[in-house]
Amino acid sequence: MGKLRFAAALTPQGWVENVTVETAADGTIAALATSGESGRYDGIALAGMPNLHSHAFQRGMAGLAERRGTAEDSFWTWREVMYAFLHRLTPEDVEAIAAEAYVEMLETGFTALGEFHYLHHAPAGAAYADPAEMAGRVVAAARTAGIGLTLLPVFYAHGGFAGAPLGPAQLRFGSDPEGYAALLQAARPHLADLPEARLGIAPHSLRAVTPETLAEVLPLAAGGPVHIHAAEQEKEVADCLAALGARPVEWLLNNAPVGPGWCLVHATHMTEAETKALARSGAVAGLCPVTEANLGDGLFPAPDFLGAGGAFGIGSDSNVLIDAAEELRLLEYGQRLRHRRRNVLGTPDRSTGRHLYERACLGGAAALGRPVGALAPGRRADILVLDEEHAALAGKKGDALLDSFLFAGGRKAVRDVYVGGDRLVEAGRHRRRDEVAARFGATMKRLLA
Ligand SMILES: [Zn+2]
């Protein structure tokens, strides 16, 4: 048992002051009380933010695709740069890069993540001796960083719609349904001693599976989460219409058991009918505003989706920039720019920052299948502590604290971060930052030499 004392905390019942959080040995919150107990009460406690979508290795290519080529630059030209980078990566490289990404996530307030893991095989496509070698490296990185992990091994069978063969650069991702089942089986022992690990499945996208192979792999979820990229790009929507006679989100809603436990990542390009139907389905929309801006994907129809009660969470996706506050800020700012209004995603009863933060926490927790997302008894003691001494927070109370964190202070206002009651980040620094950064630095210098 441990006792943590905070000057203020945001709970499902609202803001409370001078709060004591009792943590149990298993890392959950045992009790939460305001009391006159003596002791120092400081810091502003929020639930840790789940990061529902990450490709950790892409952290290593952040900043390497920001020069316009001769052709019109797009998601598809970025993908070529990404393929060229990943071709060189060994299992050791992936572990070093993922550990760096996860330490950075924790330092900005992400306490759990869904790793949408698709780099499975050796460069020519042969399986490693352990088919889950690469998944094991991701798990090892999560263990080093201490972040909560929902591992989502990717099923990637085709290079495009209508069962097109994999391209040479995609051989490292590829599996047939049988090989994928074996990969999932091989991943389980890697997760055995990781606290609160979860395993789900991730059919990559409708362009990487066929309706038949999708139906074959869905039962492998065995109650775990199902994540899939959908409607990130307009070309993908057009190709899907041509191949399957429906738009990606429309097709999934009509042909797959989309509902609670599912996460449709991006869902950027939807009609109004798709937007409302996805909101009603109970599936989570996995929004990645920084990556979607970086890749020029487009803007998610957030006002309609949130207005219809849709569940959403946020993901750092390409990890070009890792910053929980920045994801939510950009989600709102994109809508302000589009609609030329302020507080587009706010509600009358709570501030925009609080509304977005609370919904992203709960949606992220649902997408990852984790008992997190709120400071309440029975949930994991995953806690982000803001520094009330930070200039952006000085003198603020209640919702203004959260708005000042998201819109004015950003990640520099994050003081401490706990996962399962264990303080991993103190005064803004992860306790293993030096060793993880040194290994990452050496890896990058070798890869880019
Ligand atoms: Zn992605």
Q: What is the pLDDT of residues 396-441, one digit of tens each?
A: 999 999 999 999 999 999 999 999 999 999 999 999 999 999 999 9
Q: Is residue 81 part of a domain?
A: yes
Residue 116 lies in a domain: yes
What is the reported pTM?
0.97
pLDDT at 345 over 70: yes
CA of 449 to the centre of ligand 1 (A): 27
Mean pLDDT, residues 150-155 taken together: 98
CATH code: domain of residue 419: 3.20.20.140
The answer to whether position 161 is within a domain reads yes
pLDDT at 84: 86
In this structure, the number of other CB atoms found within 10 A of the CB of residue 71 comes to 9
Letter for the amino acid at 337? Answer: L
Domain ranges, residue 397? 46-426
- From ligand 1's centre to the CA of 137, what distance in Å? 19
In-domain check, residue 32: no
The tokens for 395 are 């003198």
Residue 384 covered by a domain: yes
Phi, psi of 383 (to 5 degrees): -135, 135
Tell me whether residue 174 is in a domain: yes
The residue whose two tokens read 């929309």 is: 285
The residues pairing with 33 across neighbouring beta strands, listed in sequence order, are 20
> For residue 109, what is the DSSP state?
T
Q: What is the pLDDT of residues 23-43, one digit of tens each?
A: 999 999 999 998 777 788 999
Minimal CA–CA distance to 107: which of 437, 433, 328? 433
What integer best gives the mean pLDDT of the chain? 96
Q: What's the CA-to-centroid distance between 62 and ligand 1, angstroms?
A: 14
Reference 117, options 50, 192, 176, 175; nearest CA is 175
Bridge partners (DSSP) listed for residue 303? none
Q: Is the residue at 288 inside a domain?
A: yes
**CA distance linking residue 2 with residue 337, whole number of Å:** 45
On whether residue 219 sits in a domain, the answer given is yes
Specify whether the CB–CB gap between 221 and 259 falls below 8 A. no
User: In total, how many domains does the chain have?
Assistant: 1
Q: How many whole angstroms from 83 Cα to the centroid of ligand 1?
A: 14
Spot the catalytic one: 53, 266, 390, 430: 266
| 317 given a catalytic annotation | yes
Least confident among 25-39, 92-106, 194-208: 25-39
Distance 322 CA to ligand 1 centre (A): 14
Average pLDDT of the residues in 161-173? 93
Confidence grade of residue 71 (pLDDT, cut at 50, 70, 90):
low
* Set 55, 93, 120, 317: catalytic member: 317
